[in-house]
Structure 1
């Protein structure tokens, strides 16, 4: 038995998502959040989105085959999948908390708005413009390439996983986007084109499939949100990606 399906879940809206949107609208430099990144909880809407996601997972039969669950160590991802499974009446599969599924680290640019990056770190902004977000690594942070490297390592462990046909990963928008890039073997131009046309919504579901170990992955579905009411759909994606919008 080997994993032939990966279901990628992005966490529901977080309190930092809300704070970031408020700061951007106000033209502020700094996103005011009282939690460290790993401890940011869901907003009330994020909890509502998570319950809707859980009902969708149950309707789709997420546990109809042997499944495993790997989760980011960050609170908002763990809350999302916990609420979802409870709402859907789905028993929690064998669970692993994996640090490689954490959100992208942005170093000196963390908690800054677009305006804040330009005002406080103009040199970093110029470097980003020159290098592009694929290779740009903010001081103390990670580039997209860095995140992809840890996800390639994670996929080695996926190939070794025994006893599960389906793997559910609960993580973050950058992780979802870059897992798709790694599985589909997208190079920089292809990924930039894809990311330009696609965003990962809160509490969305993305599915990848393959016929067996060593076979190519195919993208079955990306950022599905049909389970959410129109008023529940939120994206909260950084327009540059090197500005943290959790």
Structure 2
């Protein structure tokens, strides 16, 4: 059964540009955040440039977009605002179901930080695996997939979405392109900042077909 309704003609998903957290890098550190809420992490200057480049690339896609959706987080809002300056497209609707995964008490911690501060959770993560593990106060990957299922069913026409790496990878999972084992083997970090992933319906009644994944040629 198709995850989306028959009215969806194409879906283009864009990961936000480089954020301050993406750029910092914390090798060997226990933390990668200095107290900023995940929702408030902004783009870097480089990330803003990536968003502009993505916008120019998106403007070349025909036909244009009937609907633009965006995660409400600052880094995705900034990416959408900059990219849409180059395009003739509708104003974005902000949808909380497109936000990044909630990590609960583990937010801001690296793998070594989790092992150091929450050894019991670290063991549980190892037992369940990254796909099904739900941190206290946070979400598992299937939790994110459930909210994505809901928003996908409401899409129609040609849709553009500004979102996060996990949403892009899990959309591939929902479309039957990746299984749990394949998801566990590939990290969301493989989805580059400001990259484009696109599905198209070639003929009426056909399933959505992946035509571009993690495409960052406009950045190179």
Q: TM-score, normalised by structure 1?
A: 0.80
CA contact (8 A) 1:2 1:212 kept: no
- Residue deviations 1:11-42, cap 9 Å, x none? 000012123x1x2x2x2212233521111110
Specify the alignment match of 2:66 in structure 1. Answer: 67
Q: TM-score, normalised by structure 2?
A: 0.89
CA contact (8 A) 1:31 1:111 kept: yes
CA contact (8 A) 2:166 2:188 kept: no
Alignment of 1:133-148 (within 5 A): 133-148=130-145
Specify the alignment match of 1:107 in structure 2. Answer: 104
CA contact (8 A) 2:169 2:188 kept: no
Query: Taking structure 1 as reference, are residues 198 and 48 closer, same or farther at Cα in structure 2, changes over 3 Å only?
Result: closer
CA distance in 1, matches of 2:49, 2:65: 27
CA distance in 1, matches of 2:99, 2:188: 24
Specify the alignment match of 2:201 in structure 1. Answer: 210
Alpha-carbon distance, 1:203 to partner: 0.2
> Which of 184, 187, 196 pairs up with 2:179?
187
Specify the alignment match of 1:76 in structure 2. Answer: 75
Query: Taking structure 1 as reference, are residues 214 and 192 closer, same or farther at Cα in structure 2, changes over 3 Å only?
Result: farther
- Residue deviations 1:118-155, cap 9 Å, x none? 11111111111111111011111111111111111112
CA distance in 2, matches of 1:218, 1:128: 33
Specify the alignment match of 2:211 in structure 1. Answer: 220
Query: In angstroms, what is the RMSD of aligned CA positions?
Result: 2.1
- Residue deviations 1:149-192, cap 9 Å, x none? 1111112212xx4xxx2100100001111111112264323433
CA distance in 1, matches of 2:50, 2:216: 10
Specify the alignment match of 1:235 in structure 2. Answer: none
Determine helix, strand or coil for the equivalent of 1:139: coil
> Which of 147, 163, 169 pairs up with 1:171?
163
CA contact (8 A) 1:184 1:217 kept: no
CA distance in 2, matches of 1:18, 1:190: 27
CA contact (8 A) 1:208 1:218 kept: yes
CA distance in 1, matches of 2:8, 2:178: 21
- Residue deviations 1:29-81, cap 9 Å, x none? 122335211111101110111111111112334xx345210100101001101
CA contact (8 A) 1:31 1:113 kept: yes
Give unpaired runs (5+ residues) of structure 2.
1-5
- Residue deviations 1:196-221, cap 9 Å, x none? 69821000000012247864222111
* Structure with more helix by fraction: 1
Determine helix, strand or coil for the equivalent of 1:69: strand
